[in-house]
Structure 1
Amino acid sequence: MTLQGRRSGQRHSADSKDSKGTDVRLYTPAEAAAMLRVRESWLRKKASARVIPCTFIGKHLRFSEHDVTAIVAAGAKQPLGRRGRARP
């Protein structure tokens, strides 16, 4: 992140590498909440309770692309189908 980016108040995703040397993009709670279209406070509360997958780097909360995908998958519900009406 450049000094200019910090001064303007812009936040940027952190990029890191996993154990295989593959680039891993990490999102801030605000970025992940925007992607998921949920409140940041909800996301932080669930992450702190360890209810959803997340990554803590020290005390800093971040979400990988895999974490975001897993949150969406965990929230997916299968359709129930139509209930048949009992006919007299």
Structure 2
Amino acid sequence: MTLQGEPSAQRHDAGPEHRSSPEVRLYTPAEAAAMLQVRESWLRKKASARVIPCTFIGKHLRFSDQDIAGIIAAGAKQPVVRRRRGRF
């Protein structure tokens, strides 16, 4: 409850509806495919097979920032270092 004359910016509401929550961004398969530079059909196929991280909201396939980061991390490969054979 605010007092008369109290500026709204100085209100101190403790209810959960007034707490700031982190914003979660979900991307459509088309948006995620564009970000990853892959075909949308590849992304949908891998998500349906549950081999890449994804989020289903009901029937709707979406990708969070964490899902996309997980896809990138899973695809990262370490360089192969080959030793040169010495001459005998």
TM-score normalised by L of structure 1: 0.73
Partner of 1:50: 50
> RMSD of aligned C-alpha atoms?
1.4
Matched to 1:77, the amino acid is: K
Q: Which of 1 and 2 has greater Rg?
A: 2
TM-score normalised by L of structure 2: 0.73
Task: Measure the CA separation in 2 of the matches of 1:24 and 1:37.
Answer: 22
Structure 1: where are the runs of 5+ without partners?
A: 1-19
Structure 2: where are the runs of 5+ without partners?
A: 1-19
Q: How many residue pairs end up in the alignment?
A: 69
Q: Which has more strand, going by share of residues?
A: 1
Partner of 2:80, secondary structure, is coil
Matched to 2:33, the amino acid is: A
Deviation at 1:75, TM superposition (A): 0.4
Partner of 2:72: 72
Does 57-66 or 20-29 show the bigger shift? Answer: 20-29
